[in-house]
Amino acid sequence: MPSSASSSGSRPADRSDEVDPDPRLRPTATVLLLVEAVMLLAAGSYFLVLATSGVGDPRFGLGLGAFLVLFAVLVALAARSLRARGRFGLGYGVTWQLFQALVAASMLRSGMVWQGALALLLAIATFVLLLNLVRSTPLPRQDG
């Protein structure tokens, strides 16, 4: 009778010995997440500078700037996790790409064509890479 236990027989098999389907996927996905983080940080910084210089509504600018900087940090953490073969980078990264695609579609509808197209292409490319990595990333160990 086949068993899902490893050759030692004492613990379930994990996927830590699996390799990425293509060794270039993980570094490429990590770089794309870092590009997104830098773009978010730049946009957040821009709105913070505008808010502190008195252009527009300062409360809106501070809120939007802080929101974008927070997500820039989270996307950077996801990139770090992805590089270390962690699960957070995959889960958060995939979720972020869906959110980014929705925002990019809204940008396209509002007339921000090149910005929306860039965000949408980046989201689709990163989403595909992350999904290709899901099966080769080890699950957390379940000892006990």
Q: pLDDT band for position 142 (50/70/90)? A: low
Determine contact, residues 133/27, Cβ cutoff 8 Å.
no
Q: pLDDT band for position 138 (50/70/90)? A: low
Furthest C-alpha separation in the chain: 72
> At 87, which amino acid appears?
R
What pLDDT score does 22 carry? Answer: 76
What pLDDT score does 74 carry? Answer: 96
Q: What are the pLDDT digits (tens) for 2-24?
A: 444 444 444 444 444 457 677 88
Residue 135 has pLDDT above 90, yes or no: no
Residue 144 has pLDDT above 60, yes or no: no
Q: What are the pLDDT digits (tens) for 37-95?
A: 999 999 999 999 999 998 888 899 999 999 999 999 999 999 999 999 888 999 999 99
Whole-angstrom distance, CA of residue 22 vs CA of residue 24: 5
Whole-angstrom distance, CA of residue 100 vs CA of residue 67: 14
What pLDDT score does 50 carry? Answer: 92
